[in-house]
A and B are shown apart, each in its own frame.
Chain A
Amino acid sequence: KQEVTQIPAALSVPEGENLVLNCSFTDSAIYNLQWFRQDPGKGLTSLLLIQSSQREQTSGRLNASLDKSSGRSTLYIAASQPGDSATYLCAVTNTNAGKSTFGDGTTLTVKP
């Protein structure tokens, strides 16, 4: 059974700092990995999708990498801003089951 872990559970940084969020998974037979952002009481907003054949994806100040063999993905946020404060979740979709497994998320606070 796929297990997805995100460490740390919470992170607080000053504005302007570059930061890395981590996601690890136990079963490397994945089809894709997706990073989401969730604001309190809201739905999930898709940030980046990495297919299993890709190593990284970039969107603006965000860069996500994928290392299937080690079961790890990182989300890099450059020059963080208070508006980046939210919970960030990763989800992996397995090739055999087709269903997604979500991590519990990292709650990020960027202080002005």
Chain B
Amino acid sequence: DVKVTQSSRYLVKRTGEKVFLECVQDMDHENMFWYRQDPGLGLRLIYFSYDVKMKEKGDIPEGYSVSREKKERFSLILESASTNQTSMYLCASSPSFRPKLAGRFWGEQYFGPGTRLTVT
């Protein structure tokens, strides 16, 4: 079974702190994603990565950065945490398919258990 783990289930940080959220997958998936989930706003993509050291902005990248130095690990960084970043953070991974005619496609996404971050 695919396993996606996240470093913390619950985290409480103060405004202005630098926060690291880590995600590890054990299925050798090329693609990894960071989402946040808020009541009334659903799941929104922050950043994703389709290879080591590669990253692309999602729909709401402002205030966040990411790092992918190893294939199995994808880190989300809040440079200076703010109260509006209080949320549930979800990491996901998926395999990648590369048809001969180029393009990059995503397979089935597998999610971690989530990190509930509170910024006070």
Chain A interface residues (CB < 8 Å from chain B):
31-32, 34, 36, 41-46, 49, 89, 91, 93, 95, 98-100, 102-105
Contact = CB atoms under 8 A, between A and B. Distances in A.
A86 B105 CA distance: 29
Interface of B: 4, 33, 40, 42-43, 45, 48, 58-59, 88, 90, 92, 103-114, 116
Contact of B43 (A42, A45, A49, A102): A102
Contacts of A43: 4, 90, 111-114
B48 A99 contact: yes
B110 A41 contact: no
B111 A100 contact: no
Nearest to B45: A99
Contacts, number: 54
B114 A100 contact: no
25 contacts: A31-B105, A32-B106, A32-B107, A32-B108, A34-B109, A41-B114, A42-B113, A42-B114, A43-B90, A44-B109, A44-B111, A49-B107, A49-B108, A91-B43, A91-B109, A95-B105, A98-B104, A99-B45, A100-B33, A100-B45, A100-B109, A102-B42, A102-B43, A104-B42, A105-B42
Listed from nearest, the 7 A-B pairs whose CB atoms lie closest are: A44-B111, A102-B43, A43-B111, A49-B108, A43-B113, A43-B114, A104-B42
A44 B90 CA distance: 9
Nearest to A36: B111
A100 B106 contact: yes
A59 to B, nearest CB: 12
A57 B108 CA distance: 13
